[in-house]
Amino acid sequence: MSTGGSLPADPSDDATAVRYGAREVRLCLIISAIALSIGAVGLSGAALVGGALRWTLVPVAGLSALYGLLMVLSAVGGAKDRFVFDATGWWWFCLYGNTALMWDSLAGVCIYSTDDAAAQNVTATLELFPLGDFDRDDPVLWRYVRDGDPPADGLPRLRYRVELTRIENVTTDVEQACLRWVPAELWHGNLLQPKGYQGRADHAGHRRRLRERSSQTPTRIAWDGSVPLDDAEDRDPSGYADRQGF
């Protein structure tokens, strides 16, 4: 589990859990059933016709069936996805992995939304502002790092931006959990934003930083423990190490 500090092994017994995964399963299964039905009808129709129409129906039906299958797998895999809030921090159990941030590792918390939480096409995100330096390439959270103007003085530009309306709208539940558990000095409320504010993950920067880290290999030391092994002649002259794969 990735953490922003020392956290208990599990959330407290009185923690608030927002189980959005179970809600998304129902919608995904409905969509997958429709897609699989379209695929089945398309393949049945292709068997009854010939010529160019058959070769049009087969790939369309196949893609529809494949999409339906992928939706089923996604729904099953994410059935237990949930946000959990307690007195120590925010927990996220999801398909990508489990992560947690304790409140004293954050400079601020708020919700961004483009409309009222009950609006049909609202977009909303949970904004978590790390305090001080943090790992932008966290295995779970790197894809949620965003750069933007902070909503209040003293907050950093970089923050984690977690979607609350991707499939199911859980904005109201998350806001209630924040009001209960987020320390008052960190909470900045639900703030209205223009449409399209979400931004995108820095995939290119993430790949570049990982390459830079992987290229920082430790210095190789000679057999006498003093000379760096930069040249071929500095290697073990017997060749034993090379033969053994050291």
Question: Which of 192, 211, 231 is the last residue in one of the domains?
Answer: 192
Q: Would you place residue 71 in the very low, low, confident or very high pLDDT band (cuts 50, 70, 90)?
A: low
Q: What b/e string do you get for 38-55 counting C-beta neighbours within 10 Å, with b at 16 or more?
A: bbeebbeebeeeeeeeee
Could you tell me which residue, 41 or 148, shows the higher pLDDT? 148
Residues 6+ apart with CB under 8 A from 245: none
Number of H helices, E strands in the chain: 5, 10
Supply the DSSP string of 3-29, one letter for each residue.
Answer: ESS---SS--TT-EEE-HHHHHHHHHH
Q: Which of 242, 58, 85, 239 is nearest to 177 (CA)?
A: 85
Clarify whether residues 102 and 186 are in a common domain: yes
- Is residue 134, in this structure, part of any structural domain at all? yes
Please, where are the H alpha helices in 49-144?
Answer: 51-77
Question: Which of 192, 209, 229 is the last residue in one of the domains?
Answer: 192
Name the pTM for this structure: 0.68
Residues 6+ apart with CB under 8 A from 133: none
Confidence (pLDDT) at 105: 95
Express each pLDDT in 113-166 by its tens digit.
998 766 778 899 999 999 999 999 998 899 999 999 999 999 999 999 999 987
Number of domains into which the chain is organized: 3
Express each pLDDT in 160-203 by its tens digit.
999 998 767 899 999 999 999 999 999 999 999 999 999 999 99
Clarify whether residues 109 and 132 are in a common domain: yes
